[in-house]
Structure formats: structure tokens, C-alpha cells
Amino acid sequence: MRKKVIAGNWKMNNNLSGAVELISGIKNGLADFEPQADMIICPPYISLETAAALIKDTPIKLGAQNMYFEDSGAYTGEVSAEMLKSVGCEYVILGHSERRTIFNESDETINKKVKKALAGGLKPIFCIGETLEERESGVTNKVVEKQVRDGLQDISESDLANVIVAYEPVWAIGTGKTATPEQAQEVHEFIRNLIKELYSENAAQNLVIQYGGSVKPANAKELLSQNDIDGALVGGACLQPDSFLDIVKSS
Ligand code: 13P
């Protein structure tokens, strides 16, 4: 049985004091129950080091929201895998649809980032998902397949064991429109079968596939009870300690 993994993608929210407040709230809430799921928080870069100190000796793990694929050099505004490791990150979100659309990241760029993250000892949360137009024209599986094949190109099976895949239909992100559990399950199953084809049955069975897109306490349980949904990548609902923890409790 795969353990559920709930990750909070804070996106561009919370300054340093806001981050301290949110993490303190989550820690206080954890005093009341024993989480059955793994928990990851992904604050903006500026709060990572403080977050790492605050979550020390708790079950909460730390991730960043992006990184660049070079080691160092003249890349103004970017951070490397090694830098993220140095402030205590274990995970990094890569290929989020906001990076793909607003910042023009291609499958090729994302593949370079995934490889570099793995080489640097970070675990990528590799995001994929179709737009509304793609879903309505019936090409969801085709789009997702290309993102998986290109994004994971030349990643070995042993490295894949450190990758989490997050299926986030673009039309469900920040819109309040969640995929139905059946719609999400169908794509998750497709992704797992594809991984079986590209790697092995074992790799497919062990892969954690998160769902993301308007996950909230009210819909988390039903989504997380699907066979191939192994967790959630939560945006808006992770910005309040109670709603984040309620999603963790649904696992
Ligand atoms: P929302 O939960 O706000 O829809 O965001 C989902 C997401 O993009 C997480 O990465």
C-alpha cells in the first residue's frame, strides 16, 4: 500500500512573518493527531531556511517551488539544486502548469530540471496536466503521455523511485472546479500504466501520483480514496493551517 503524500504549494503567498505564522499554525494543529500521510510544505524561496528550522523535529518535510538546471553562474534570479539542499529542502516542484504557461517552460527544460534535481539529491514533484481545451477535444491522455515521456526522458528506474508525479488538470487549478474522483482516477490509472510500459510493474506500483486542482477538505476524502490517487498537491487550501490539516486527516 502506497503511503499518501500531501504537499502544500504556497505559490507566491506569504512573506517571512506570514510563513512563520502558517507553519506555527500547522505545528500547533499537529499536537492533536497523528498524521497518517507524509506532509510537505513548499513556501517561497525567501522562507525556506526559516521553514527548515521551524519544522525540525516534526514530520513535516520541505520543498521548493522551482529551481534552475545549472550548478552556478550568470543566471540572474535563479537558484540551483545545491542551493536548495543547503537550506534544507528535500523536494522541489518542477513543471508546474504556471511555470509552463506564464514562464514558458518546455518539456525539455523541465526534463533538464528533473535530472539535475535528482543528481543533486532532491526529490522532484513533477507536474503534468491538460488544459480545458485539450480535455474538451479529447486529447487528455495524449497530452499527459507526451509530458511524461518527455519530462522523464533518460531518468533511470532507480531515480524514478525518488520522483512524485502530480497530475494537475490546468482547468481545475485555482478555479474551484475539481476533477471528479472518476475523472482523476482515470488519468492516474493511465499514468501508472504508462510508467509500467516505460519502466516496470514494480516502478508503476511504487510511484506516488498526487492529484492537484482545487483540492479542499470537502472533496479530499473522495479523491484520496481512489485506487491510483496517492496524495494531493494543494494550492489555495494549504494557506490555512486548518484546511491543510483537514486534507491531511482525510488521508
Ligand atoms: P489550487 O489548489 O489552488 O487549485 O492549486 C492547485 C495547484 O496548482 C497546486 O500546485
Atom of ligand 1 nearest to the CA of 214: 4
List active site positions: 96, 168
Instruction: Give me the pLDDT at residue 249, please.
Output: 97
Candidates 131, 122, 105, 98; CA nearest to 12 is: 98
pLDDT of the residue at 100: 98
What would the DSSP string read from start to end of 30-65?
A: HTT---SSEEEEE--GGGHHHHHHHTTTSSEEEEES
Residue-wise pLDDT tens digits, 34-70: 999 999 999 999 999 999 999 999 999 999 999 999 9
The total number of structural domains in the chain stands at 1
- The pLDDT, as a whole number, for residue 247 is 98
pLDDT at 130 over 90: yes
Cα separation of 3 and 36, whole Å? 8
Integer Cα distance of 55 and 41 in angstroms: 10
> Cα of 127 to ligand 1 centre, how many Å?
11
Residue 176 CA: nearest ligand 1 atom is 4
What residues make up the domain containing 164? 5-250
* Residue whose C-alpha cell reads 525540525 in the numeric block: 56
Q: Return the pLDDT at 102.
A: 97
pLDDT of residue 173: 92
Output the CA 8–ligand 1 centroid distance in Å: 9
- C-beta of 129 in contact with ligand 1 (< 6 A): no
pLDDT of residue 72: 98
Block residue for cell numbers 531518468: 155
Supply the pLDDT for residue 220.
98
Q: Which of 6, 9, 130, 167 for a ligand 1 pocket mutation test, highest count of atoms within 8 Å of Cβ?
A: 9
3-state secondary structure of 209: strand
Q: Is the CB of 174 under 6 A from ligand 1?
A: yes
Residue 91: CATH number of its domain: 3.20.20.70
Element (H, E) at 20: helix 16-30
Confidence at residue 119, expressed as pLDDT on a 0 to 100 scale: 98
69 near 119, Cβ under 8 Å? no
Summarize the confidence of residues 230-246 as an average pLDDT: 98
Counted residue by residue, the chain has a size of: 251
Q: Could you read off the pLDDT of 14-36 as tens digits, one per residue?
A: 999 999 999 999 999 999 899 99
Model confidence band, residue 177 (pLDDT cutoffs 50, 70, 90): confident
Phi, psi (degrees; rounded to nearest 5) at 25: -60, -45
Of 136, 23, 144, which is closest to residue 95 (Cα–Cα)?
A: 144
pLDDT above 90 (res 176): no
217, three cell numbers: 477538505
d(CA 239, CA 241): 7
Q: Residue 1 has what pLDDT? A: 74
Ligand 1, atom 9: closest residue by C-alpha: 235
240 pLDDT exceeds 90? yes
Average of per-residue pLDDT values in the chain:
97
State the pLDDT at residue 129. 98
- Share above pLDDT 90 across residues of the chain, in percent, rounded to a whole number: 97
> Does residue 143 register a pLDDT over 80?
yes
List helix spans (H) across 77-225.
Answer: 81-86, 97-102, 107-119, 132-136, 140-151, 157-160, 181-198, 201-206, 217-224
Residue of the nearest CA to atom 1 in ligand 1? 235
Say how many Å lie between the CA of residue 72 and the centre of ligand 1.
Answer: 30
What pLDDT score was predicted for residue 152?
98
